[in-house]
Amino acid sequence: MKQFFCNSTKRFPICLSLLFIFLIQEPSAFAKRSAEDLYRTAKKNYTELEQSPEKEKFRSQWERVIHGFLMVADRYPKSGLADDALYQAGMVTLKLRQISRSSRDTESSLQIFERLSKTYPVSRYADDAQYMIGEIYRTIKNAPEKAYTAYAEIPERFPKGDMVKGAKDRLSELPSPAPEKAEEFEKILKKHKAEYTTHRIWI
């Protein structure tokens, strides 16, 4: 009877070595598939949530979706889906906040968008996340100065992004920082720009 190549005791170490080499060379492929599986599951759960008025009544259903998206970024930050997953998590958290009116959800959405903007500054979602930060400060937290700072970072950090026009429109609607705060405002912009450069993840 013929034996498989790796069934031989003498050949087993060779097979083990080949497998080890393959796993070293292809970790990103395994991570990518795993990240895709998690993302697909979160997306499926979100679709089911949106299509079920009954499920939308329960906070646990929303948190399940949010956790699913965050898991992609937490486990596979370099997968190529992490930035997308963070953006989805932030948007779902904002939708939850519209129902709950909870400050906890407001802060959670802010943290998620800030994480995306800071960690993935070259992502196509980064400027969108930064814009949402401004919107949260402007419409929910009623903090026009912080909203102004958030919007001002968009043309500064994402000059070629598609949210530049929207950010400039918002800046024209908001009062400019008072003269005595102008210097402080510039310092904040520079500090944030340095932080985003330091914390970035290349994907």
User: Per-residue pLDDT tens for 149-164?
Assistant: 999 999 999 999 999 9
Average pLDDT, rounded, for the chain: 84
In a domain, 101, yes or no: yes
- pLDDT of amino acid 1: 47
- pLDDT of amino acid 176: 83
pTM, 2 dp:
0.76
In a domain, 12, yes or no: no
Is residue 138 scored above 90 in pLDDT?
yes
- pLDDT of amino acid 5: 44
In a domain, 4, yes or no: no
- pLDDT of amino acid 177: 74
Those residues whose C-beta lies under 8 Å from the C-beta of residue 193, and which sit 6 or more positions away, are 153, 156, 157
- Give CA–CA dist 98/148, Å, rounded: 23
pLDDT tens digits for range 45-99: 999 999 999 999 999 999 999 999 999 999 999 999 999 999 999 999 999 999 9
- pLDDT of amino acid 58: 97
In a domain, 9, yes or no: no
In a domain, 7, yes or no: no
- Give CA–CA dist 25/19, Å, rounded: 10
In a domain, 1, yes or no: no
- pLDDT of amino acid 57: 95
- pLDDT of amino acid 4: 44
The tokens of 149 are what? 């700072």
- pLDDT of amino acid 14: 59
Is residue 183 scored above 80 in pLDDT?
no
Q: Which of 95, 48, 86 is nearest to 67 (CA)?
A: 86
Q: How far is CA 85 from CA 42, 82, 123, 133, in A?
A: 9, 5, 12, 17
CATH number at residue 105: 1.25.40.10
Is residue 133 scored above 60 in pLDDT?
yes
Q: How many structural domains is the chain composed of?
A: 1
DSSP element (H, E) containing 128: helix 126-135
In a domain, 159, yes or no: yes
- Give CA–CA dist 154/161, Å, rounded: 8
The tokens of 133 are what? 């930060």
In a domain, 174, yes or no: yes
Domain enclosing residue 122, as ranges: 29-199
**Per 3-state DSSP, what percentage of the chain is helix, strand, and coil (rounded to 5)?**
75, 0, 25
Angle at 66 between CA 153 and CA 85, to 5 degrees: 55
